[in-house]
Every structure is written in C-alpha cells, then in structure tokens.
Amino acid sequence: MLDHGAAPTVDETTARKTSGLSALTRRKPVERLVAEGGQGEGGSLRRSLSMWQLTMISIGATLGTGIFVVLGDAVPKAGPAVTLAFVIAGLTALFSALSYAELAGTIPVAGSSYSYAYATMGELVAWVCGWCLVLEYGVSVAAVAVGWGEYLNELLDGTIGVTIPALLSSAPGEGGVINLPGLIVVLLAMVFLLGGARESALVNTIMVFVKIAALVLFCAIGFMGFKSGNYKDFMPLGMAGVSAAGASLFFSYIGFDAASTAGEEAKDPKRDLPRAIMLSLLIVTVLYVAVAAVAVGAWNWKKFEGSEASLAAIMNDVSGQTFWGTLLALGAVISIASVVLTVLYGQTRVLFAMSRDGLVPKVFAKVNPKTGTPRVNTVIVSLFCGALASVIPLGKLVDATSIGTLFAFGLVNIAVIVLRYTRPDMERTFRVPLGWLFPVLGFLFCAYNMFSLDTVTWVVFGCWMAAGLVFYFLYGMRRSRLATAAVATDAEK
C-alpha cells in the first residue's frame, strides 16, 4: 500500500517548494520511482511477465493497425511510395525505440515516458507527457476499434452473407448513429484485462500468432497478382505526399512502447524490457514493408481510396474467389482485437502511475488484491474508449493519436540526454549507441512528422493540451504527492 506520509529524502529537495517555478520543475527521484514499483491503493501489481510475453504485448499493440486499418488512408496520399512512407515512419519509431529501451532498462516502471519525464524534466513536463499518452493510448484504442468493425462486416459477409447495417456500424456523420462493433470490441478487451495481466498476455500471444500468419498468407496470395506497372508512377504526389502519409502511418508503430508500461509486472524488467522493445519493432517493420509492397504491387494505388478493408479486397481480386479474403478478414478481426487489448492495457498502467503520484484521482491507482489489476481504472478507461469508438470517425482519431504520440516520443529522446547528463553514474542495461546522436535524430524526426500533419490536427492537439493544463493547475499541481510531502515536512518544522 502507498505510504502517503513518507518524508522526502535528500534527493527530493526539488519537491520542498510547492508554488512558483520550483513546483513546476520538481523532479521525482529515480530511486523512488523504482522503489514504488507495483504499489497501488489496496494491493500491488504482480510480476508475472517474461521477455517473450513482453515482446508479444509490444507486437500485439503495434502489428495490425497500420496494415489492416490505415493503409487505405495512406496510399492515396503517397501512391506506391507508401512503402517509403512506412520506412520513414519506421526510422522515426526506431530512434525513439532506442531511447525507450535505454530508459525502460534504467527506470522500469509502469508510467512509461510519463515517468521518464518526471525523473528528468520535472512535474509539468511529466504531466504534459502523461496527458499526451492519454491521447495516444485512449484515442488509438478507439481508432483501432472503429477499423475492427470494417473487417467484422467483411467476415460476416463472406461467411453468412449478412452485414451489420451502416446505421449501427458507422459513426454519426458517416451515415450511422453508433459504431456498435467498435464499442463491443473494447468491452471484450476490458473483460480479458479484468482477469489479470498474465491471463491477458496468454490471450494476446495467441492473437499475435494468428495475425502474423494472416499477413504472411496475404503476402503469398497477393504476390501472385503482383504487377510491376503499378510502381511506374512511384511518387505521384511528390515528397509532400510521402511525408503526409508517413505522419499518418506513424500511428501504425504506436504500441512498441506498450511493453514499457508493463515495467512493474515484468519478472526481470531491466533485462527484458529493452530486448522486447527492440525485437518487436524489428518484426513489425519487416512485416509492414513487405505487406505494403505486395499490396501496391497487386492493386493500382488509386483503388485504395476509401477502402478500410483493402487487404481482404486485394485477396479476393487476385484469387478470383471470396474464400481467401474471408480468411484474411477472420485474421484481421482477431489481430485488431489484440491491438485493442494491449493498447488498452497500456492506457490503464499510465493512469495508474499518474494516480499514484497524485496527479489524477486516486481511484485509478486502486488495485484489486485478488487479480492484481487496477479494476476500476480498467472499467473507466474502457467505457471512455468505447464511447469514442462508437461516435467518432476513424480518420480524425488516427491523426489525433499520431500527434500526441510524436510529442511524447520527442520528450523521451530528450529525457535520455538529460538523464545521461544529470545521472551518468546510473546502471544502464542498454545504451543508445553513438552517444547523443540517435536521441537528437529521434527528436528531429518526431518534430518533422508532427509538422507534416494538417492544421485541424494541430488545433485539436492545442485544445487537448489546453484542457490538460487547466486540469493540472486546478487539480494535479496541488495534489501531487511531491507537493503534499513537502507541505508535511514544512509543517513538521
């Protein structure tokens, strides 16, 4: 159980003042972050996840979204050069993944980049990062859930010849009243998560194997219809189109950081987290580029416009029958469900860490002693994400998720540099190679992709950040555990 009355250590001198600039820049010591690992209100998280399970969580949260859902939106922007856009987005993710790997091995806690920022750049920056993670995870769950409905309809049509009416499978403004499939898949993921981390990890591992098999099958069938002429006009909309597609496709790489949110439930986090992050990103990138190359080779890039279940349609065209497309739709339904499951898991763990620090209501840090999970947290987050999935169109969700993620990843790259400067003596089980070069490149790539997004996305992001800052100054800054600990110390004097 949390010890809210514990006096701050010598290293917590930055927390002694509770107002002014010092309150905004107070940092939470790494040692305290690690010492509090797993502790919640009423119980503790359980360390039950191996490196293999962490890798599967990372792949589960990443693989599937960009290929099964976002590809139809990205190809019209970049044309056949969508393969190049995947590489650009992958490089952006790689540099950030290296930084995540170093920090995950050094500060193995549930808060991911929020906790890294708290230890290096202070409370206000940590809050901003955590608020971005709420946008990243929460909205991406909703976005993926929306795409899940498209493939569910494809599967139903190919098996029993019926589909869910648009009235019940589309968001308002897109011909529907509610996206019922999107809501259902989020609630199903909630049920699995309430059972426990280990049980959820087992279900996710099975789903990951299914999704990899489905994508390999697509490559095998799709290659039979490959036409080199489809690559003739490789970059029809120029580099601007590739950049725009790359910024949207970065959404496809969201998830590798989900492993870092499991830092307090991993058996050997210092060793296993860096390995899981890097291995998962390698596997995902190879599959993404291969599937995108085959898809554009089999279909003229103009045919992708408005197609959110394009891979199944390609298999039907190439094979001349609906069986293979239906089989792929089944794989996609299972695959996308695993993304919902693992990203929803990451969202709950980030809020768990923020709640433990006092920045959001303590209900998010309550742990059920029987299951070792934050059950109330899971229910609240699931209902929120399900509501978003049921009423907001896919495209708006994707770009909003991308900008929040890019901002958080940029901060992680900076955090690596700051921690190396302020705590060079700390044990690091993994170090980003070539000194500060890769973290700097990671930050620049994130900034480049952010500025490739449209004005509307920036406006939405600005409004989101403004709302977050209002909440912090009215609630989080005063209720922060570092602030209350400082007040208690001053009172004792």
Q: Quote the pLDDT of residue 103.
A: 84
Mean pLDDT of 267-272: 80
Q: Quote the pLDDT of residue 313.
A: 79
Contact 335, 210 (CB under 8 A): yes
Q: Strand, helix or coil at 267?
A: coil
| Percent of the chain topping pLDDT 90 | 1
Tokens found for residue 27: 């940092």
Tokens found for residue 336: 């996308």
Radius of gyration of the chain (CA): 22
Separation between Cα atoms, residue 145 and residue 139, nearest integer Å: 10
Separation between Cα atoms, residue 116 and residue 445, nearest integer Å: 20
Mean pLDDT of 154-181: 75
- Mean pLDDT is lowest, of 242-246, 258-262, 328-332, 475-479, for 258-262
Name residues whose C-beta falls within 8 Å of residue 3's C-beta, 6 or more positions apart in sequence: none
Looking at the predicted structure, is the pLDDT value of residue 393 above 70?
no
Mean pLDDT of 121-141: 82
Separation between Cα atoms, residue 153 and residue 155, nearest integer Å: 5
Q: Quote the pLDDT of residue 168.
A: 74
Looking at the predicted structure, is the pLDDT value of residue 394 above 60?
no
pLDDT band at 489 (very low <50, low <70, confident <90, very high): very low
Name residues whose C-beta falls within 8 Å of residue 232's C-beta, 6 or more positions apart in sequence: none
1 CB-contact burial (10 Å; exposed 0-12 / middle 13-18 / buried 19+): exposed
Q: Quote the pLDDT of residue 425.
A: 79
- Mean pLDDT is lowest, of 137-146, 436-445, 447-456, for 137-146
Under the phi-then-psi rule, with left for phi > 0, alpha for psi from -120 to 50, and beta for the rest, what region is 358? left
Query: Would the CA dihedral through 301, 303, 308, 313 be positive or negative?
Result: negative
pLDDT in tens, 297-316: 888 888 877 665 677 778 88
Q: Quote the pLDDT of residue 424.
A: 82
Mean pLDDT over each residue of the chain, to the nearest integer: 78
B/e letters for 452-464, b = 16+ CB within 10 Å, e = fewer, are bbeeebeebbeeb
Looking at the predicted structure, is the pLDDT value of residue 8 above 50?
no
pLDDT band at 139 (very low <50, low <70, confident <90, very high): confident
Q: Quote the pLDDT of residue 155.
A: 81
Looking at the predicted structure, is the pLDDT value of residue 19 above 70?
no
Looking at the predicted structure, is the pLDDT value of residue 13 above 60?
no
Q: Which of 428 and 472 is assigned the larger pLDDT?
A: 472
pLDDT band at 9 (very low <50, low <70, confident <90, very high): very low
